[in-house]
Structures are given as C-alpha cells and as structure tokens.
Homo-oligomer: A and B are copies of this chain.
C-alpha cells in the first residue's frame, strides 16, 4: 500500500508475528491500538515488557514463575510429579483443580528427527528431584504423538527401576463424542486400554 503509514505498518508487522495472525487480523488489532487512549496503550506495552522482565522458570519444576520457586512447588505434595512438555500444559491441567501434586516441565520431548535427544530436555533435573524427595508416582502427561510416546517410554525405563510408579494419562474416546466419528488410532487405543467394569 503506497500510503501505508510507517508506524502503523510496523505495528501490523509485530502483530503478524503472533500465532495464527495474518495481515488482515493484524491490521484490525493495529486499528484497535490507534483507538486506545495514551494510557491504555502504555499499559499494553508495559504488560509486554513486564512479562519479559518478570517471568522466569521455576528452579524446581521449570514452569513459569515470578519467583525463584513457583507457588505450586512451594505449597504442594512433592510425592506425585506430573511430567509435561510445556508450561501451557501445566495451565491446562491446573484448570481442572483435580491434580494436587507438583509438575515437571521438560521443555520439549525426545524427537530424534528434529535432533532433540534426552539430554536436550529437562530429564536430568527430573531424576535429581526423584533423589531429593520421597516420590511415589510419576505421571507422564506428554502429548499422545510419536515424540510424546517415545519420551514416556524412555522415562518409564529410567524411573521404574527406582521403585517409583510411572503412569501415563489414559487415551480413549473423548467424553461426549461418538464411536462412529472417533479416528482409528484413538479407537484402537481405547480398545487396548479398555477397563473392566
């Protein structure tokens, strides 16, 4: 656009870097910012800088926190550790208010094709934690894909010999969906992991 105003173009470009945001959406966002008051825009900019300045990784579990050790690690039962790939998985599980243990964020899963080996993710840190605390169970909550499965298998082989239970989230038919429309792989796993009534 020949009359594109430089500062608007810059902002559109920045918004376009967000996941799933195209040029058109970025433009809508930019117009919204132009409509903001000076102080609203400042709050927005400060929130972006604040996150970068304040958020770090918990030295125990690797999840986001503003302190050295996160609120979950400080207050919860360290006897059960739920292992996840990314911080956003912690957020998804915390929303349930179901799990009362602590987390361990791997920051990735084993993926040889992408050059990610066991030493590239936080497995060493997990093993150290198993020595420090009396851990009864490790729940592996990695995604049900090749890389997530491989990581779960790897962890099980490593941790089970220590006399610690290693479990994995159940795969199966999503609640509320229909068998007819469930994909083949999920349906197969639902058969394999069937439960006695």
Contacts and interface: CB of A to CB of B under 8 A. Distances in A.
Interface in A42-59: 42-55
A34 interface: yes
A191 interface: no
A88 to B, nearest CB: 6
What is the copy number of this chain in the assembly? 2
Nearest to A37: B52
Contacts of A154: none
Interface string A75-99: 0000000000001101100110100
Given A5-B65, A94-B3, A45 B49 contact: yes
A1 interface: yes
A64 B94 contact: no
Given A14-B43, A33-B52, A3 B72 contact: yes
A43 B49 CA distance: 10
A134 interface: no
A149 to B, nearest CB: 24
A33 B46 CA distance: 12
11 contacts: A1-B95, A2-B71, A7-B54, A11-B48, A14-B47, A19-B28, A27-B88, A33-B48, A41-B49, A42-B49, A45-B49
